[in-house]
Structure 1
Amino acid sequence: MSHGTILITAADLAPQALELLGEYDIVYAGKTPTEDDIVALCREHDPVAIIVRYSKVGAAAMDAAPSLKVISKHGSGTDTIDKVAAKERGIEVVAAVGANAAAVAEQALTLLLACAKSVPQLNERMHAGFWDKATHKSVELGGRTVGLIGLGAIGQRFASMASALGMRVLGFDPYAKQWPEGVQRADLETIWRESDAISLHCPLTEDNRQLLNAENLAKCKKGVIIVNTARGGLIDERALLEAVQSGQVRMAGLDSFAVEPMTEGHMFQHQPGFILSPHIGGVTSDAYVNMGLGAARNALAVLAVSVAN
């Protein structure tokens, strides 16, 4: 006998996670569900839980599912869930914090190295028949300073990697519960002023939206490298484009964007100085399983408590 329906805002979930959810009916929203799709599915199936992979879950979806007890994020960032609306309705919001930390930190390091060493550009030139050894100069990261904004599971993992490269690591995170060894505490002004590279690892909030804007980019060292594997809304994209074009920013390695998916005609496309990936930092076979298991366990834990009460 089914204990209710769980809606997955995607076309799939790791088999290991589905096994945990065996006592529930599973409904998938598809590969690219819209908010309206999710509302319609909530109205049709009245889920007791939603596991959020793609799209947003707002008040309309919550109101369409009177049995809803928990919204569980398949990952760590909950900015696509209206947490205020959930709290008002007594719906718990949980996240699989740390489940994709290794994957995202590795993507951030990959983007930093690709920016410093011009890997995509040199690859393209080589395939076109050029040999740029006499003219190209890369950036050596050892001995340089990287500033990290956000020191959760991903930021801490990245800090260890940067330290292993011989980099000086500065960190800013007023909410950090534990301060990682080898990371110097710094305020934002110090991060802007002293960093040769800046990597963003914080959640998006109304307080830090467009944190990396024209004013703060102007405070940075000329030739700074910017890496963002967190949320696109942390950056004023027009200001970043202008900073890259002026040379204030040497390169930007970006895995997240203000509006996703990116569509043809975006200002970063076909622009030198940008290395782009489609928000796949946490998309590895290992992270897929870890996030699925984390999201399923978190949902089941809340549902167990609601049944007990």
Structure 2
Amino acid sequence: MNILAISDNFIDSSTMEEGLKSLKEHGINVEVRNWYHDSIEELQKDNLIIEQNGPEGIVLSEDLLKDIDKFHMVIVQFAPISKAFIDKAKNLKAIGVLRGGVENIAVDYAKEKNIAVLNTPGRNARSVAEFTMGLILSEVRNIARSHYSLKNNYWRKDFPNSENIPELNEKTVGLVGFGYIGQLVAGYLKAFGCNILAYDPFYKGDFEGVTLTDLDTLLKNSDIVSIHARLTEETHHLISKRELSLMKENSVLINSARSGLVDQQALVKALKENKIGGAAIDVFDKEPIPEDDEILKLDNITITAHMAGSTKDAFSNSPKMMAKNILSLLNGKDNLPIVNGVKLELNF
């Protein structure tokens, strides 16, 4: 069995090699090629193009596609697997994605070609959940604003929420999306003594200390609203002008998920007009943020450079998790995270 693994600036070649070495120990041929970018910023630019236009938005170099028809499986993190890629990889049986999202894969076309697409759910869930707590605390307690002021020789004590700086204890936090990340955040919030609401039409379980409700009820009753949904056509601009108008005047919006889940222009307008108290955002419609973007002029927002899921542990664990899934399949287990419903059989 031949596997092509495409590394990048976040999961470099050595990390990919180390993570997949257990496959080599079982006689599987693994070749690692690098999707080269001069910097992480350049890679993120391509990622944004792919998020907005799909895998057809970026064309891979011929070096990465050399002899592609000899491989039975390809493993990527951010590199796009387009229809053209799939057509060239004539012996491809599976595509492995080293993260939860599969925006960089032509998933439906892969299904047409009877190629299974596996993702790696939860690989950076803890990273994002921990970062979300950092965003919440930084915004409501003015940590970032105070840091910036002190670095500029200003002992600042007056903030947009000076008359309403809260403790988290007994505050209501609404989680929009209640998958693994949302559940981890809920666990952290419980330790802070928060009341927790959650909206997720796909969640059918029962989580102690969390009240499931509809989106409007959540927005109207939450002091903090944190977004953890998956971006789809149905969830695009899930939070827009109408939803923001339902939130409390002193409430705070947190987004460490995807920019498309929130109407950024509507959010900026709501913040400018003080319709909500504040926001903390890690994802943006245009990355890096343009110098003339109004969001940079706001004082009642904490912004970070799309870094919630970027920890060493998250990146290094991803290839190991994928290797474990592949070996499980070879050992006869079939409970794999296949996202397009194609039954995968690797019998090489």
TM-score between both structures, scaled by the size of structure 1:
0.89
Gaps of 5+ in 1: none
The 5 Å alignment of 1:116-265 reads 116-133=140-157, 136-137=162-163, 138-265=165-292
Matched-pair contact (CA < 8 Å) for 2:7–2:32: no
Matched-pair contact (CA < 8 Å) for 2:271–2:298: no
Q: Which moved more, 1:125-134 or 1:60-69?
A: 125-134
Show the counterpart of 2:334: none
Output the CA distance in 2 between the equivalents of 1:290 and 1:237.
Answer: 32
Show the counterpart of 2:5: 7
Matched-pair contact (CA < 8 Å) for 1:224–1:248: no
138, 144, 155: which is aligned to 1:114?
Answer: 138
SS at 1:163 equivalent = helix
CA separation of 1:172 and 1:39: change in aligned 2, threshold 3 A? farther
Show the counterpart of 1:18: 20
Output the CA distance in 2 between the equivalents of 1:167 and 1:279.
Answer: 26
State the aligned residue count: 307
Output the CA distance in 2 between the equivalents of 1:263 and 1:90.
Answer: 42
SS at 1:306 equivalent = coil
Find out whether 1:105 has 2:129 as its counterpart. yes
Q: Which moved more, 1:249-258 or 1:204-213?
A: 249-258
Matched-pair contact (CA < 8 Å) for 1:39–1:61: no
Q: Deviations over 1:207-244 (max 9, x none)?
A: 11110111111111112211111111111111111111
Shift of 1:139: 2.5
Q: Deviations over 1:91-148 (max 9, x none)?
A: 2121211222211100111001111011111112223333334774523221111110
TM-score between both structures, scaled by the size of structure 2:
0.79
SS at 2:60 equivalent = helix
Show the counterpart of 1:60: 84
User: Identity rate of aligned residues, in percent?
Assistant: 29
Show the counterpart of 2:339: none
Tell me the C-alpha RMSD between the 2 structures.
2.5
Q: Deviations over 1:50-99 (max 9, x none)?
A: 33322543323222322222222222122332322221121212121122
What letter is aligned with 1:306?
A: E
Q: Which moved more, 1:120-129 or 1:106-115?
A: 120-129
Show the counterpart of 1:38: 60
Gaps of 5+ in 2: 38-42, 47-56, 332-343
Output the CA distance in 1 between the equivalents of 2:158 and 2:267.
Answer: 30
CA separation of 1:128 and 1:29: change in aligned 2, threshold 3 A? closer
